[in-house]
Amino acid sequence: MNGTINKVILLGNLGDDIKIHRFESNQLLARFPLATSESYTDKATQEKIQKTEWHTIVAKGKLAEVCQGNLHKGDKIYLEGKIKNRKWDDESGQTKYITEIYADKIEFISLKNP
């Protein structure tokens, strides 16, 4: 196989309401945190441990429009997308890095406020 694959599949809950940014071109960008959790039992203590990972999700264009009025904190979604890394310099000149998931497909699984 000569190609490469950058594909992410997540099923999780929104950790906050969606933040919308509208560009001068009138295109929308939606950004929100998504929590995914897994649990296991500690073999030594038999204690059930739950570990949560937080992902920054970005949706653009029509997908952002659909998310804008429909998704809220606590909603469960399924998404497919790709990982993108960005870096920028903040106001003080310090370099910052972020890893984001750019969504290609989002399905609403369970909405808290339909």
Flag whether 72 is in a domain: yes
Residue 13 has pLDDT above 60, yes or no: yes
The pTM of this model reads: 0.86
Flag whether 36 is in a domain: yes
Flag whether 2 is in a domain: no
Residue-wise DSSP of 82-113: EEEEEEEE-TTS-EEEEEEEEEEEEEEEE-S-
Q: Please compute, for residue 89, the number of CA atoms within 13 A of its CA located in the half-sphere on the CB side.
A: 4
List the structure tokens of 15. Answer: 């950790």
Per-residue pLDDT band at 2 (split at 50, 70, 90): confident
Domain that residue 87 falls in:
8-41+48-108
How high is the mean pLDDT of the chain?
93
Q: What share of the chain is helix, strand, coil (3-state, %, to 5)?
A: 10, 60, 30
